[in-house]
Structure 1
Amino acid sequence: MKKICSIILLTLSLNSFANEATNYSFVNVDRTIKVEFHLTSKKTPSYKVFFKNKLVINTSELGLLREDANFYTDMEIIKVSEAKALNFNYYMLQGKRNKISYSANQYTVSLQNSTGEGMEIIFQLSRDGIGLRYHFPKTSNDIKKIKEEKTTYNFDASAKAWFQPMSKAKTGWKETNPSYEEHYSMGVPANTKPAIGEGWVYPALFNSNDAWVLITETGLQGNYCGSRLVYNDSSKALQVTFPQKEEIFPNGALNPESQLPWYTPWRIITIGSLKTITESTLGTDLADPAIPMDTSFIKSGLSSWSWVLLKDESVNFETSLQFIDYASSMNWPYCLIDADWDTRIGDAKMKELVAHATAKNVKLLVWYNSSGSWNSTEYHPKGKLLTHEGRVKEFSKLKEMGIAGIKVDFFGGDGQSMIVYYHAMLKDAATHQLLINFHGATLPRGWQRTYPNLLTTEAIKGEEYITFTQETADLQPSHCAMLPFARNVFDPMDFTPMVLDSIPNIKRKTTPAFELALPVLFLSGIQHIAETPAGMAKMPKYVVDYLKDIPTNWDDSKFIDGYPGKYIVMARKRENVWHIVGINGENTSKEIEIDLSFVINESGYIILENDKGFQQQIISKSKNKKFKVTMKPNGGFVLKV
């Protein structure tokens, strides 16, 4: 009997050891990316990431702690699936590419905890990266609550990071933080802790073992909160972390809670060169597909906007008329009328503005304050969008007036109840055929695919901050040269770019050609242009003509050259026309060689600048398939072929 018991114990011990020690390898189609998965000695799920056989993410932990169950330690592997090939195509109404193909190998790891409850970890390895998420397959009628996510990213000590600090909730002007509006830390050790003390927002860029790695999340539904990265001293790794306690809709949930079954958002790891990072569509590939809706009302394009340079007093009937005419003269489809329009102009006069704009082939966008009690902002209309009933009433009025869309400002953070608020507003706006622009808001995390009426989102320290302080203006060149490598890789960004003339009371550090490049460099379904009619009137005719024909939805995008925070050159195509733009984020001249072999057309022009201002040159591809461009310090160029 003792001998039989010893054999059984030895067998169980060997099986347990085998479960812990077994490495499972997951690879993408072309075998450039590999994930090694296993259980640690504590039976915690863990993984490593290799790119071209080089280790880029060291052993990192996975798992979740629910209030009712532990899915982090004492886990057992029940089954690991074979690779399942995934292939699909989808279409985007805005962004770097409109027709997108996705293919990946999917692997599902089925585990159970010490009480026999199941959890799956799903890995999808595509050519440009990894998506991973958790799934509770069981069905329950009661609400389950996750108190901590244990997903980590463990980089080697030599890895460098480019990322943006998370602000402290309820700080800043009128307690409006957090809104993803801090300056980036660039090229710092990956274990750096921000001075603010609240971790780092997505997307976060890393250079590890000669590979570039971009980490973010997508597929964020109303059953989860937005997350961020905080360095964990115990695990010596960056950990996915939930929001600060203040980041909630009044009396709403902070951390994730849901019935089962339950899928968590995708954790995304894009891997490769800077070309891979900037050309990737992984953030929309793994986002939820578009909801059923009529998209015929959705049109992207440029917009005039008085407030950014002229501030509150510009929100009046006469100035609005001027900016409508300005948009019409520039062939821009929109004009945005900002805060307090409901009293400074009023509904009756707004209807007159709509009629005037319609005659000029321009549509109007109007501003709203999203907030209830979570900050002390006074701008209005305020408090009208807090409930479904309130939104239906307000959106019905706007639809009847002929308003095309709304800019909604001053959200309250990333708690689950706030995420529910975003989703509810997008759905109600879609029903009433209204376009949406979120300001003072969170990163959209692929929502523009799920809700095609979401044209853009701020979530960045943009042009309006440059108009506020000289310190922000001084940092603009490197800040702008950072954004195509992180914030604007996947999600539309309402930076509200381009001041060609001057900013009141600010000494601009960028040159006019730098500014001219931004509406093409930055991706946004609606590009709100900061320049005023008076400033535009000072520009050469060829600059004005160039700005009359700038797309915001592209057939293709190509990375030409660049480095985060220093410079970038991007090419974007619409039909058979290529727009190639570059900016120099440093205070020294930079010479770039551009290979035009990918361009079909033979001729075009380039707008540069010299000491006297803009200059235009005709170029011919047949004569110069490769040619060199010199960007002035903090300067830029635009090239159209």
Structure 2
Amino acid sequence: MKKLVALCITMLLVCISSFAQSSDVTIFSPDRSIQVTCHLDSEGKPSYSVQYKNSTVLETSQLGLVFRDGDFSKGLTKTMVTPVTVVKDKYKLVTGKRQNNIYTANHQVIQYKNATGSLLDIIWQVSNDGVAFRYHFTGPSTTRPQTINTEITSFHLPATTKAWLQPMSVAKTGWEQVNPCYEEYYEKGIAAGTPSPLKAGWVYPALFQTAGHWLLITEANMDGHYCGTRLDNDSANTNYHIAFPDAREIMPGGGVNPLRVFSSPWRIITIGSLATIIESSLGTDLAQNANPAVDFSFAKAGKSAWSWALLKDDSIVYDVQKRFIDYAADMHWQYSLIDVNWDTRIGYDSMQLLINYAKQKKVGVWLWYNSAGSWNTTPYHPRNKLLTHEDRVKEFRRLKKMGVAGIKIDFFGGDGQSMIQYYIDILNDAAEHHLMVNFHGATLPRGWQRTWPNLMSAEAIKGFEYITFGQSAADEEPAHAAMLPFTRNAFDPMDFTPMCLYKIPRINRQTTAAFELALSVLFLSGAQHFAETPVGMAHMPGYVKEFLQQLPTAWDDVRFIDGFPGEFVVLARKSGNKWYIAGINGSTQEKTVSLDLAAYKAKKAELLLNSKGDRYIDQQAVTLQANKKENITLGAHDGFVMVLEQ
């Protein structure tokens, strides 16, 4: 009898093992609108597909990693599937679309074993606004594979998909070999599968529309062991796959590919409507929380004056910077940024005097640095002061003693693993010395602002400075600006350096002043460096100045109202008892937007808009009536801001 029971148990275990090996695993979002199906084929190749509201938004897409000393892309067997559990998280951000964030998702782990017996977990988390997954290795580090050659992960879009994508620039191209720095214009509404015009793939976040739904693909939780990745696709193929950086995107002597990986970054697919894209926080929900042992209380979001945007190198002198500190104080802005070559044009000793003066005015000072070693030939300085831990500690101690608030670091060299580690080393050393950080000529932050709250912003966009360089960039600004809330600025702070209300030297500005003012609300940056100068601001009515004096530095909530990528966008941001509704029209056609103001339960509303020419902003009181919508007509390249007080 005992032998018969043992035989039955053995047969049952064999059947369970066979079932586990052959059957698909299906994971749903909490509201069951998203369904992920994970499959392992007869060759042991793992894959997945995604449905949203019964529509296929990702067809069968590949999973897996190939190491120098181990293959986890084929010949796998499924060894374990954990029960579904619910993960919940609450966290705060210094800079972002919300200060307080809540994340809820269904969590499940599928474990695989490769031909040599090594184990790989694929961790899935499916929330109501999207799908996230990552690779994770169990066991001691001595038994884990070391260097990853290839990541097989792909995102196979249906054939009719449209895409809004920024091409990745080729390493060592551009002015003084500064590329890649995420500073290309977006290809808008192209057929999915269209090859990248620069032949180097596409950057994150990558926006797609399929079956009437929207997907935004990105990655988060970069800990320095992995490289920054990008998307690539074969010609006329809608199967986008993860690609590693160019071999030249490294610190001198460092590596490109992931090294000693314990967990990969999260692969994130936000899914839903355009409102989902605008209102989601998945890009930070999946980032690592800040180290509770580190004091980040010094990191405070704020608005900043900045002379270089319009006045360039010649403005980096003592008297001009003193005037801009006065300007920041008059505007009730928290900071003033002093840009390139300050170390020789002003000098450390005179800079100390400026910092002392700014402190009396309750203005913090940011200073510019060149990150660069040998990876580019940029002439600006100070340079070569941040390349090693010892260099950084020496310089950061000096800056902390001087009372510097933050550092803007420019001209990075790409996304290789060693370069990603360089970014993180800077953030750690800066935090140690209570310095905020703004990365320029840089990679996408990928949620770093949660892990390191002293990261206030990053450029990683073709920003305002290009408009000052040539008319073609000014001509492109309206449509470009209407792209960014849906893509680059969806999750991560963006130092576009917006808002020129008056004149740009030698450039015919294509936007109205009201369009430019709206960017102060639409674009998110922990350190918001405004391009407008004291002279330009003097041409604005007093109520515009008052608006910018009172403009919040952080937000409590966001609502999408209307828009379409590259054409127009209208959204609302909340701070305290006020809602700020901002909209821009990036097209050449007149556009009317309809606002349901009853939803904001406001007692008072004021509207700032263009009414007397493109350099003037008018102020109008808005009569609030129950069951009556407010219609606002925007001309070509026009905008508005409305302030609702509850």
TM-score, scaled relative to structure 2:
0.95
Question: 2:514: which partner in 1?
Answer: 513
The AA in structure 1 aligned to 2:243 is T
Which residue is equivalent to 1:324?
325
- The amino acid of 2:450's aligned partner reads R
Say which of 171, 174, 194 aligns to 1:172. 174
Give the whole-Å Cα distance in 2 for the aligned partners of 1:46 and 1:450: 30
% identity of equivalent residues: 51
| Residue aligning to 1:480 | 481
Superposed displacement of residue 40, structure 1? 2.4
Amino acid corresponding to residue 617 of structure 1 in structure 2: Q
In the TM superposition, what is the alpha-carbon distance from 1:141 to its structure 2 partner?
A: 2.6
Equivalent residues in 2 for 1:20-419, closer than 5 Å: 21-141=22-142, 144-232=146-234, 237-258=239-260, 262-291=262-291, 292-419=293-420
**Deviation sequence 1:149-169 (CA, Å, 0-9, x none):** 000000111000001000000
Counterpart secondary structure, 2:481: helix
Q: Secondary structure at the match of 1:419?
A: helix
Please show how residues 463-612 of structure 1 align to structure 2 within 5 Å.
463-612=464-613
Question: Which residue does the alignment assign to 1:435?
Answer: 436
CA contact (8 A) 1:370 1:386 kept: yes
Structure 1 position 404, deviation (Å): 0.5
Cα distance in structure 1, aligned partners of 2:178 and 2:564: 32
Q: Kindly state the Cα deviation for residue 233 of structure 1 after the two structures are TM-superposed.
A: 5.7
User: What is the distance in 2 between the residues matched to 1:239 and 1:20?
Assistant: 26
Counterpart in the other structure of 2:633? 630
SS at match of 1:188: strand
Q: CA shift at 1:297, angstroms?
A: 1.5
Q: Does the aligned pair in 1 maintain the 2:159–2:238 contact within 8 Å?
A: no
Distance 1:542 1:526 in 2: 23
Separation in 1 of the partners of 2:16 and 2:285? 39
Task: Give the drift of 1:13.
Answer: 12
Match of 1:6 in 2: none
Offset of residue 620 of structure 1:
3.2
Give the whole-Å Cα distance in 2 for the aligned partners of 1:92 and 1:352: 33
Find the aligned partners of 1:623 and 1:78 in 2 and give their Cα distance.
61
- Tell me if the contact between 1:38 and 1:47 (Cα under 8 Å) persists in the aligned partners: yes
Please give the alpha-carbon distance, in whole angstroms, between the structure 2 residues aligned to 1:12 and 1:574. Answer: 58
CA distance in 1, matches of 2:330, 2:607: 23
1:520–1:552: 8 Å Cα contact kept in structure 2? no
RMSD across aligned positions (CA) = 1.8
TM-superposed CA distance for 1:598, in Å, is 2.7
Shift of residue 190 of structure 1?
1.3
Q: Take 2:20 and 2:192, find their aligned partners in 1: how far apart are those partners?
A: 32
Unaligned runs of 5+ in 1: 1-10
Work out the CA distance in 1 between the residues paired with 2:604 and 2:227.
50
Moved more, 460-469 or 295-304: 295-304
CA contact (8 A) 1:19 1:76 kept: no
Deviation at 1:138, TM superposition (A): 2.1
Shift of 1:296: 2.3
Shift of 1:189: 1.2
CA distance in 1, matches of 2:622, 2:87: 44
Q: Does the 8 Å contact 1:167/1:198 carry over to 2?
A: yes
Equivalent residue number for residue 4 of structure 2: none
Question: What are the Cα deviations for residues 447-473 of structure 1, in whole angstroms up to 9, with x where unaligned?
Answer: 000000000000000000111111111
Looking at structure 1, the residues matched to 256 and 297 of structure 2 have their Cα atoms a distance apart, in angstroms, of 36
Q: Cα distance, 1:601 vs. partner?
A: 2.7
3-state SS of 2:598 partner: coil
Q: Quickly say closer, same or farther: Cα 1:12–1:598, change in 2 above 3 A.
A: closer
Structure 1 outlier segments of 4+, above 6 Å: 11-17
1:377–1:522 Cα change, 3 Å? same
Find the aligned partners of 2:237 and 2:366 in 1 and give their Cα distance. 48
Aligned residues: 630
Name the aligned partner's letter for residue 299 of structure 2. Answer: I
What is the rounded CA distance, in whole Å, between the counterparts of 1:208 and 1:551 in structure 2? 36
- Residue matched to 1:614: 617
Deviation at 1:232, TM superposition (A): 3.6
Q: Is the Cα contact below 8 Å between 2:37 and 2:50 reproduced in 1?
A: yes
SS of 2:142 mapped into structure 1: coil
Letter in 1 for 2:618: Q
TM-score of the two chains, using structure 1 as the length reference: 0.96
User: Aligned-pair distance for 1:299?
Assistant: 1.5
Which is worse superposed, 140-149 or 224-233?
140-149
Give per-residue Cα distances to partners, 1:23-79, cap 9 Å, x unaligned: 211001110000011112322100000001111000001000010011001111111
